[in-house]
């Protein structure tokens, strides 16, 4: 089995373990939190883990990304849950804004992760020369 494939499998298993930990530790009944974390884990593992870089850095970035995603969705859910009690019009805004705002943090975190991997690769090449 190639090194990249084993990194991808280990990353996927790590992401599943992290997601399960969040599911058991949280008491939120909002399915969008779980769905967005599953989407984030799938995208992150499939796009970042095949790249060159240290595996521990990739797993740490995945853990940080899951934490940010969980907190982002929990806070957004709390705001919208409060707003829905004020007016039913906010249901429409929640339906429209939830995927868009989740896309914002997913793309932002993914690009920051790529810059960390590029920086670590640059440091490794400086050490070798």
pLDDT digits (tens, 9 = 90+) for 4-14: 777 777 777 77
Q: CA–CA distance from 48 to each of 24, 96, 114, 120 (Å)?
A: 26, 28, 7, 14
| 80 and 109 Cβ atoms separated by less than 8 Å | no
Range of the domain at 45: 3-128
The total of structural domains in the chain comes to 1
pLDDT digits (tens, 9 = 90+) for 55-90: 878 888 888 888 888 888 878 877 777 777 777 777
């Amino acid at each position: 089995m190639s090194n990249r494939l084993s990194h991808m499998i280990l990353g996927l298993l790590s992401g599943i373990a992290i997601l399960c930990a969040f599911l058991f530790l949280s008491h939120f009944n909002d399915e969008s939190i779980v769905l967005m974390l599953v989407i984030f884990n799938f995208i992150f593992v499939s796009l970042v883990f095949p790249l060159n870089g240290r595996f521990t850095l990739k797993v740490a970035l995945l853990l940080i990304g899951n934490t940010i995603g969980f907190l982002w969705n929990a806070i957004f859910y709390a705001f919208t849950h409060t707003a829905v009690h004020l007016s039913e019009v906010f249901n429409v805004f929640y339906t429209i804004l939830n995927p868009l705002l989740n896309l914002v943090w997913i793309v932002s975190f993914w690009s920051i992760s790529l810059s960390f991997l590029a920086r670590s690769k640059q440091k490794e090449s400086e050490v070798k020369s």
